[in-house]
């Protein structure tokens, strides 16, 4: 594994690239037109074996590419494009088969038996399951903390605390976290900061500038953008990159070339899609906030949200995902609302071009905080449809809710 040139990934960070705005880096990053006969995009390499020209070359591993699992021009295209948008502090990007695999791989790259880690109580639930099962079995102890703890996390640091995991806004519940303050306390205690940055993406939250060491995305969501692939990405800084790359390679994780290509294709348009998701999401959230059936809207981009000040200070935008709490009503009325919607599909995942809604409840598994929202909770993903049509669809849902009350 060593000596195969994985220490750095190509030259995504020429100083020229660093001077460009993220939206421009999203377009030019990871392109290698000269080695592709002038074609704009890389080919989809379906590949395992790479042939060496001579015995001497083989013994010395003397080749630009070694083996399909270790990377192809297709995977490098996506890795380098992502690295370009993460900014100059990103030392490398690892691609894995899902967002869940990105979480587990990133954690496995930093912990050892006997270590302690801190995870926000608002974390994506499968992350919690990974910590409570596999990490526990491997001798790693997890403490969940209040997402609003900020710099107070210093008081939870133990001599063996190796990592602090943050996610903002919180999965489903949308609490904001003071990530710079948490990172400062974590680094002072020698711990590494991991973040699930799926909601904001590097375009709306420049994780490395805010103190994060390992930034995770479910590429399934906004990078892919079309609900047609599964992918996870982990971006690392200089401190964490080599361990991450070694862990990924030792676990044997790689992604099929068609999914890598689709992700690269999706990534090129992510800034325009996100702009639209942000604008439409805020419009629909504001409309919902003034409905009599709605108790609260959980969206840090709204001035009324308790996390708004932190969002404004640290984030550059909002995506199209937020939640609402309905005033108490019967289960049957909630189902009538959901069943009456025609443009908001009911289904898991998000980040595609289409609008979605799910019913959720965090009350059964939180351990550091309690979840008592005061009514049924729904999470919306606002897609790229016309907002007038989406609002008409919701109006229809509220009419059905009123009839079923």
Ligand X SMILES: *Cc1c(COP(=O)(O)O)cnc(C)c1O
Binding site for ligand X (CB under 6 A): 98-100, 124, 171, 196, 198, 218, 220-221, 230, 232, 349
Q: Catalytic residue at 31?
A: no
Distance, CA of 77 to CA of 32 (rounded, Å): 8
Q: Catalytic residue at 221?
A: yes
Which one from 221, 245, 273, 379 is the annotated catalytic residue? 221
CB contact set of 277 (below 8 Å; sequence gap of 6+): 222, 319, 320, 382, 383, 384
Cβ-based nearer residue to ligand X, 128 or 221: 221
Residue with tokens 């007038």: 388
Cβ-based nearer residue to ligand X, 195 or 340: 195
**What's the closest the beta carbon of residue 171 comes to ligand X, in angstroms?**
5
Distance, CA of 196 to CA of 131 (rounded, Å): 14
Long-range Cβ contacts of 391-397 (<8 Å, 24+ apart): 391/284, 391/287, 393/341, 393/342, 393/343, 393/344, 394/284, 394/287, 394/288, 394/341, 394/344, 396/340, 396/341, 396/342, 397/337, 397/338, 397/340, 397/341, 397/344
Residue number closest to ligand X, CB atom:
99
**What's the closest the beta carbon of residue 175 comes to ligand X, in angstroms?**
13
379 within 8 A of 321, measured Cβ to Cβ: yes
Q: Catalytic residue at 245?
A: no
Six token digits for residue 318: 């909002």
CB contact set of 335 (below 8 Å; sequence gap of 6+): 404
Cβ-based nearer residue to ligand X, 29 or 232: 232
Containing 4, the helix (H) or strand (E) segment is none
Which one from 52, 65, 67, 69 is the annotated catalytic residue? 69
Distance, CA of 368 to CA of 123 (rounded, Å): 12
Cβ-based nearer residue to ligand X, 31 or 323: 323
- What DSSP designation does 49 have? B
Count of other CB atoms within 10 angstroms of residue 317: 17
Cβ-based nearer residue to ligand X, 31 or 221: 221
Which one from 121, 196, 259, 314 is the annotated catalytic residue? 196
**What's the closest the beta carbon of residue 130 comes to ligand X, in angstroms?**
11
**What's the closest the beta carbon of residue 347 comes to ligand X, in angstroms?**
12
Cβ-based nearer residue to ligand X, 98 or 161: 98
Q: Catalytic residue at 314?
A: no
**What's the closest the beta carbon of residue 288 comes to ligand X, in angstroms?**
21
**What's the closest the beta carbon of residue 135 comes to ligand X, in angstroms?**
16
Instruction: Calculate helix-pair angle for 241-251, 99-108, nearest 10 degrees.
Output: 120
Task: Write the DSSP string, 262-324.
Answer: HHHHHHHTHHHHHHHHHHHHHHHHHHHHT-TTEEEEE-TTSTTSTTHHHHHHH-S---SEEEE
**What's the closest the beta carbon of residue 219 comes to ligand X, in angstroms?**
7
**What's the closest the beta carbon of residue 263 comes to ligand X, in angstroms?**
11
Burial 351-379 (b: 16+ CB within 10 A, else e): bbebbbbbebebeeebebbebebebbbbb
4 within 8 A of 50, measured Cβ to Cβ: no
Cβ-based nearer residue to ligand X, 198 or 280: 198
Cβ-based nearer residue to ligand X, 172 or 280: 172
Containing 187, the helix (H) or strand (E) segment is helix 179-188
Q: What are phi and psi of 340, to 5 degrees?
A: -80, -15
Which one from 124, 144, 222, 261 is the annotated catalytic residue? 124
Catalytic residues, by residue number, are 69, 124, 196, 221
């Amino acid at each position: 594994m060593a000596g195969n040139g994985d220490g750095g990934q190509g030259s995504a960070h020429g100083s020229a690239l660093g001077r460009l705005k993220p939206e421009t880096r999203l377009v030019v990053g990871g392109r290698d037109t000269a080695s592709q006969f002038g074609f704009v995009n890389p080919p989809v390499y379906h590949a395992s074996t790479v042939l060496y020209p001579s015995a001497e070359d083989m013994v010395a591993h003397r080749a630009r590419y070694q083996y399909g699992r270790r990377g192809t021009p297709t995977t490098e295209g996506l890795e380098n494009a992502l690295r370009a948008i993460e900014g100059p502090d990103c030392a490398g990007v690892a691609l894995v088969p899902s967002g869940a695999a990105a979480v587990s791989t990133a954690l496995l790259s930093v912990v050892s038996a006997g270590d302690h880690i801190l995870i926000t109580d608002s974390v994506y639930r499968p992350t919690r399951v990974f910590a409570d099962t596999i990490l526990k079995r491997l001798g790693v102890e997890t403490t969940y903390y209040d997402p609003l703890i900020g710099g107070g996390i210093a008081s939870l640091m133990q001599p063996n605390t190796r990592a602090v995991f943050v996610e903002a806004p919180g999965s489903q519940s949308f609490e904001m976290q003071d990530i710079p303050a948490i990172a400062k306390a974590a680094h002072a205690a020698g711990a590494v900061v991991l973040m699930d940055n799926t909601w904001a993406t590097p375009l709306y939250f420049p994780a490395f500038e805010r103190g994060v060491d390992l930034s995770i995305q479910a590429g399934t969501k906004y990078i892919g953008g079309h609900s047609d692939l599964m992918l996870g990405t982990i971006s690392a800084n200089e401190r964490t990159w080599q361990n991450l790359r070694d862990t990924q390679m030792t676990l044997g994780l790689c992604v099929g070339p068609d999914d890598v290509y689709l992700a690269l294709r999706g990534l090129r348009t992510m800034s325009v899609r996100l702009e639209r998701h942000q604008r439409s999401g805020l419009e629909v959230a504001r409309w919902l906030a003034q409905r009599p059936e709605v108790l609260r809207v959980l969206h840090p981009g709204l001035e009324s949200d308790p996390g708004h000040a932190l969002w404004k200070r640290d984030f550059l935008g909002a995506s199209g995902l937020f939640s609402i709490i309905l005033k108490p009503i019967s289960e049957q009325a909630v189902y009538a609302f959901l069943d009456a919607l025609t443009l908001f599909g009911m289904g898991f995942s998000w980040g595609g071009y289409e609008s979605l809604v799910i019913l959720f409840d965090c009350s059964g598994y939180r351990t550091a905080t309690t979840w008592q929202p005061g009514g049924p909770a729904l999470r919306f993903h606002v897609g790229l449809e016309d907002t007038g049509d989406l609002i008409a669809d919701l109006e229809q849902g509220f009419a059905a809710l009123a009839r079923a009350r």
